[in-house]
A = this chain, B = another copy of it.
Amino acid sequence: MTGPIGDLIVSDMAKFSTDLDSAFSALADPTRRAIVGCLCEGPKTVSELSAPFEMALPSLLKHVQVLEHSGLISSEKIGRVRTCRLDPHALQATEAWLRQHIATWERRLDRMEAHIARMKRKD
């Protein structure tokens, strides 16, 4: 498809791909996965998030920034307190990508099993 609509679809697909790149990349770190895990239970301030980690605050803030940049979380600073919350859409998009591909693989297995069963009946 060419023209403005085609360009829009290609640009949307490229954006979706970039979003997946940065979401998967952000999740490739145990500290960032632990932060996402904490935020699944509700919004937390940066100091609440830092409590379980033996890590200097600037290092934790870098992880928070990577997660924000990937769209997995968002944060808001009121006064001196920054509160982080999960943005579920990026997490759901990553899970949907994996789920769809696992389903494709499982359908192939089902077809193979059905084929083997047919061959056995013929014998």
Contact = CB atoms under 8 A, between A and B. Distances in A.
A95 B98 contact: yes
A62 to B, nearest CB: 17
A2 B67 CA distance: 33
The range of chain A's interface size is 20 to 34
Q: How many copies does the complex hold?
A: 2
Given A24-B24, A95-B95, A108-B42, A101 B37 contact: yes
A76 to B, nearest CB: 18
A20 interface: yes
Interface of A: 17, 20-22, 24-25, 27-30, 33, 36-37, 40-42, 86, 88, 91-92, 94-95, 97-99, 101-102, 104-105, 108
